[in-house]
Amino acid sequence: MANTNKNEKSCMATCRSIRTSPRKLNLVAATIRGKSADKAVAELTFSKRRIAKVALQLLKSAIANAENNHNLNIDKLVVSQAYVGKGFVMKRMNARGRGRGARILKPFSSMTVVVKEREE
């Protein structure tokens, strides 16, 4: 999904239903906030976190939206915002001793990346 503000040269991409907790995804989003687009791509490419691959796809999608849909210069792009939202939670049961059950929570989250053209 691409969207832009009319008075700013920015573009965004959103990914929903990412199978990780928002707390873990926010750690990945914090590493790319405020960086230039090429440095953010390099940061996510060599990250050891599993969810960094999804964040990398999302960042590349935002860069492609900026280039193709809004004719922005990709060399001047900066990640102006990268924020994470909470999604739904799948609830499962795990058998425990003495006939009891323990709840397992499997959280989902969403992430939005906004890239903006740097003014010089």
Q: In angstroms, rounded to a whole number, what is the distance separating the alpha carbons of residues 111 and 120?
A: 29
Cβ(18)–Cβ(118) below 8 Å = no
Q: In angstroms, rounded to a whole number, what is the distance separating the alpha carbons of residues 28 and 80?
A: 15
Domains of the chain by start residue, with CATH: 10-117 (3.90.470.10)
Q: In angstroms, rounded to a whole number, what is the distance separating the alpha carbons of residues 62 and 37?
A: 10
Tell me: the pLDDT tens digits for 15-34? 999 999 999 999 999 999 99
Instruction: Say what the pTM is.
Output: 0.89
Question: What are the E-state strand segments in the chain?
Answer: 10-18, 77-95, 101-117
The position carrying tokens 């001047």 is: 76
Tell me: the pLDDT tens digits for 71-89? 999 999 999 999 999 999 9
